[in-house]
Structure 1
Amino acid sequence: MKKWALPLSLAAGVLALSGCNGAGDGNVIATSKAGDVTDMELYAEMKEKYGPQMEQALQELMQKKVLSENYEVTDDELVKELKKAKEQLGDQYEMFLAQYGLDEDGFKEFLKLELLREKAALADVKVTDDEVKKYYDAWQPEINVSHILVEDEAKVKEVQQKLADGGDFAKLATEYSTDPGSAENGGSLGWIDNAGRAQFVPEFTEALGTLKVNEVSKPVKSDYGYHIIKITDQKEKGSFEDMKSQMTDEVKKSKVDSDTLQTKLEKEMKAADVKVIDKDLKGAFETNDDTTSEPKDDEESKEAK
């Protein structure tokens, strides 16, 4: 499950403001000599223009209410998740918030909903001690990785020679690397956890498994060019007993896909007896096996046969 593609909830704030009840004329939110605009007018306009996104926003608001009744996200969990997100996004964090029109509080609300969904999805997942121990044995601790990417063999030999002559890896990465995202940071790709190793091309991932801290790899060829890789730091791997809870959670997460999550969310919404009053947003909680659509009249039924 995850990560970092945020849902496009353009209308969430308006939905929360109006309460989706369609009652009354609404509250004035802007004035002019030509007339006022109310929250209900804005709500109606956004339904007209952003129908699917409004349904998605309604889903999120209702899921947060329903799931919060059955599952708890602590402040410590939320702080930890935010810290993890910042580490993963690195220098792109502020750009990421701006892209989705969020401040940090808004992003924390998104993360809270993600954690609630995750807790719901994992609630029914069972794992055995043997599965957890096997996963632990293969699990690799976090590593801090840097690399220098160049286009051709001649250039990679030039960089290798400069490293052999005592050249500074970070300075050479800034000078030579064609990976702009890491070059400006001295080649640093940041901390990579066990699951994060798989985000790289296979050749790169395989090389990570062979390197020790401060060891520089031989050139690794991929579709992007030639990589020279260095692990600059590595965290310690704790004992099985100390890490059993974490390992259990990670094994459970590996068994949950988007279909499993969706099925669980639908089950939670059904148990909460969710009903959509606004006819324009009726599709927000409809599923493929819903039988709530209006029956056809006799003539339509005969034609269908």
Structure 2
Amino acid sequence: MKKWALPLSLAAGVLALSGCGDSEGNVIATSKAGDVTDMELYAEMKDKYGPQMEQALQELMQKKVLSDKYEVSDEELDKEVETAKEQLGDQYEMFLAQYGLDEDGFKEFLKLELLREKAALADVEVTDAEVQEYYDAWQPDINVSHILVEDEAKAKEIKQQLADGGDFAELAKENSTDPGSAENGGSLGWIDNAGRAQFVPEFTEALGTLKVNEVSEPIKSDYGYHIIKITEQKEKGSFEDLKDQMTEELKKTKVDSTALQTKLDEEMEAADVKVEDEDFKGAFESEETAPAEGTETAPTEGEATEEPAAEPAAEDDAAATEEEAK
């Protein structure tokens, strides 16, 4: 499953606003007791939400710097949105609502994620032999459902009901202890090649052996007993048709969080990023270059503390089923 970071903090809007107007600031609200300017609001936000403001500064600067070097097309953004809709299904609108986003706002968030990805992959190389080996082991997307119960006896009972013609979705709604998937008839949604590994080993192994519409025997994990069914499976295209896709996917497997952070640090340094606001002087210092406590060292320019993409609570809601399956 695709993993998304939390969208830009609302503080980012205030941070951007602070650069406008004169030193007195632009008036945001008025009253008989006095006005509130954008500069006053900015100062208040810094006091109350310093770390979030620092993250917002990092994200805003990364977007500016990376956009100057890498390009994200409308087609790429549309494809990412469609992937999100496919994976989140009926919960896509809830995902947007949870973060106060419309689709355009979501695209802006995705644009930064894609810019980071392009930067991270820019210097990664793979051989044709590596791509061929990756293709041979690659498995196409599958649409997965499961029923989770606490004990083996109950799992065997449900398995027999299914063998007698029982409806999988209805039995999931009635019996599954995984609330996220139970209300959706046991559906975990579409799982891609990388997503298979996000489940516990017993679950992942079962996915590799099941055929479409085949129902598994009860599978024991730390969460209980799973009855698994693959409802759909996409076709695996030829190597030539998938070579470009396989190459990109393989490159991504060679980039970990450390490599991503190193690349972002390099891009910020190359862009000669300087922080003028004393309160944010450490925003672009990584842990390795941050001055030791009690020392006075000039800030290292161009180094970011921004963590790479992390899975958001919204996807936890939409894919809470995965956590139960893990």
Scaled by the length of structure 1, what TM-score is found?
Answer: 0.91
Question: Structure 1 residues 7 and 263, CA, compared in 2 at 3 Å: closer, same or farther?
Answer: farther
- Within the alignment, does 1:15 sit opposite 2:15 as a pair? yes
CA contact (8 A) 1:22 1:278 kept: no
- Within the alignment, does 1:184 sit opposite 2:198 as a pair? no
Mapped partners of 1:256, 1:194: distance in 2: 17
Partner of 2:277: 278
Partner of 2:133: 134
Q: Percent identity?
A: 83
- Deviation of the 1:162 alpha carbon: 1.2
CA contact (8 A) 2:282 2:290 kept: no
Partner of 2:41: 42
CA contact (8 A) 2:7 2:109 kept: no
Q: Which moved more, 1:113-122 or 1:177-186?
A: 177-186
Partner of 1:71: 70
CA contact (8 A) 2:135 2:239 kept: yes
Partner letter of residue 17 of structure 2?
A: L
Partner letter of residue 17 of structure 1?
A: L
Mapped partners of 1:230, 1:286: distance in 2: 48
Unaligned runs of 5+ in 2: 299-326
Partner of 1:114: 113
Aligned residues: CA RMSD: 2.1
Unaligned runs of 5+ in 1: 297-305
- Deviation of the 1:267 alpha carbon: 0.8
DSSP 3-state at the match of 2:144: strand
- Deviation of the 1:97 alpha carbon: 2.9
Mapped partners of 2:169, 2:198: distance in 1: 22
Partner of 2:306: none
Scaled by the length of structure 2, what TM-score is found?
Answer: 0.85
Mapped partners of 1:294, 1:174: distance in 2: 61
- Within the alignment, does 1:263 sit opposite 2:273 as a pair? no
- Deviation of the 1:5 alpha carbon: 3.4
Pairing of 1:1-305 with structure 2 (within 5 A): 3-6=3-6, 9-19=9-19, 23-287=22-286, 288-289=288-289, 294=296
Q: How many residues are paired up?
A: 295
Provide Cα deviations, 1:260-297, integer angstroms capped at 9, x if missing partner. Answer: 11111111111111111111111111233367x8459x
CA contact (8 A) 1:67 1:117 kept: yes
DSSP 3-state at the match of 1:136: helix
Partner of 2:302: none
- Structure with more contact order per residue of length (Cα contacts < 8 Å, sep ≥ 6): 2
Provide Cα deviations, 1:186-231, integer angstroms capped at 9, x if missing partner. Answer: 1111111000111111111100100111111111111111111111
Provide Cα deviations, 1:225-275, integer angstroms capped at 9, x if missing partner. Answer: 111111111000010111010000011100111111111111111111111
Mapped partners of 1:160, 1:126: distance in 2: 47
Which structure has the larger Rg over C-alpha atoms? 1
- Deviation of the 1:2 alpha carbon: 6.9
Q: Which moved more, 1:278-287 or 1:58-67?
A: 278-287
CA contact (8 A) 1:149 1:228 kept: yes
Mapped partners of 1:203, 1:295: distance in 2: 51
